[in-house]
């Protein structure tokens, strides 16, 4: 299939979802007519959407409606938007108190992905981590997500600096769970240290991590425990703002 044909198929699939959202359960013939395509093309698109759980056949034979997969995706998007929005005032305060850049990260496909960032008053780098995938074993947020079961270690742990931990037992995930925070000392980038704490969702499970990162000459190893305690308190506040009351 050519790129243009693939894009056209995606456009038509999106149009089907929009029609079903507008009209509810709809017959294939009506969908085909509105899309100005052959009925077999509409069937093919519906079959692909059905396989992904985005549409399903209703009790009325020959009609399709939105599937539960749409609800799942909408819930995930809403949760991420809620997390970014509700965490921001806390992150602003943490960045001011700690003096370093504060990020919120979630687990995606084996990596930690930063979804929001607040730069601290002492930040000297304009680096934007939002949207970036970072290796779990070499980042403080990733270690938190590993320790609490949000992410799993891959078969090989890549080395990024001379300080990167590349053996699972040296990550000490049990200790991270026990003390409630994780740290990295020049493990992703030379000269960069970070600390992170877990954020819990309404059901008590860890859903994200809040971290503070800064240059190693300022966020020194002897500061990590104190910063960890501040982040643990901040993470607890964020957790409560998104529905956790444990």
Residue 119 has pLDDT above 60, yes or no: yes
pLDDT averaged over every residue in the chain? 89
pLDDT, tens only, 122-165: 765 556 767 788 999 999 999 999 999 999 998 899 999 999 99
Model confidence, pTM:
0.69
Share of the chain above pLDDT 70, in %: 89
For residue 156, report the phi and psi dihedrals to the nearest 5 degrees. Answer: -130, 140
Residue 86 has pLDDT above 80, yes or no: yes
CATH number of the domain at 3-66, please? 1.10.10.10
**pLDDT score recorded for residue 23:** 87
Lowest mean pLDDT among 6-15, 96-105, 230-239: 6-15
**pLDDT score recorded for residue 205:** 92
Q: Taking residues 186-201, report their average pLDDT.
A: 96
**pLDDT score recorded for residue 138:** 97
Q: Which residues contact 158 (CB under 8 A, 6 or more apart)?
A: 135, 138, 164, 166
A 10 A CB-CB count for 137 gives 28
Q: Is CATH 3.30.230.70 what the domain over 79-241 is classified as, yes or no?
A: no
Residue 2 has pLDDT above 70, yes or no: no
Nearest-5° angle of CA 174, CA 148, CA 98? 90
Residue 62 has pLDDT above 80, yes or no: no
**pLDDT score recorded for residue 244:** 82
Range ranked top by mean pLDDT from 62-66, 194-198, 203-207: 194-198
**pLDDT score recorded for residue 121:** 81
**pLDDT score recorded for residue 207:** 93
The whole-angstrom separation of Cα 185 and Cα 163 is: 7
Q: Which residues contact 78 (CB under 8 A, 6 or more apart)?
A: none
Domain boundaries along the sequence of the chain: 3-66, 79-241
**pLDDT score recorded for residue 221:** 96
Q: What is the band of 192 on the pLDDT scale with cuts at 50, 70, 90?
A: very high
């Amino acid at each position: 299939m050519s790129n243009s044909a693939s894009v056209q198929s995606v456009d038509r699939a999106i149009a089907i979802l929009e029609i079903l959202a507008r009209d509810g359960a709809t017959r294939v013939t009506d969908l085909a007519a509105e899309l100005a395509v052959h009925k077999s093309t509409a069937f093919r698109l519906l079959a692909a959407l059905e396989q992904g759980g985005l549409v399903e056949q209703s009790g009325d034979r020959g009609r399709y409606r939105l599937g539960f997969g749409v609800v799942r995706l909408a819930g995930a998007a809403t949760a991420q938007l809620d997390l970014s929005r509700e965490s921001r005032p806390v992150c602003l305060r943490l960045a001011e108190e700690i003096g370093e850049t504060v990020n919120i990260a979630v687990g995606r496909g084996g990596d930690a992905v930063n979804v929001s960032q607040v730069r601290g008053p002492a930040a000297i780098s304009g680096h934007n981590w939002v949207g970036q995938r970072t290796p779990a074993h070499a980042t403080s947020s990733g270690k938190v997500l590993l320790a609490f079961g949000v992410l799993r270690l891959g078969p090989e742990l890549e080395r990024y600096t001379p300080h990167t931990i590349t053996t699972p037992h040296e990550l000490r995930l049990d200790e991270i769970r026990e003390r409630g925070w994780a740290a990295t000392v020049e493990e992703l980038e030379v000269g960069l240290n970070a600390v992170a704490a877990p954020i819990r969702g309404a059901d008590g499970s860890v859903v994200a991590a809040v971290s503070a990162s800064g240059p190693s000459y300022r966020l020194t190893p002897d500061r990590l425990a104190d910063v960890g305690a501040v982040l643990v308190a901040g993470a607890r506040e964020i957790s409560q703002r998104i529905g956790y009351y444990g």
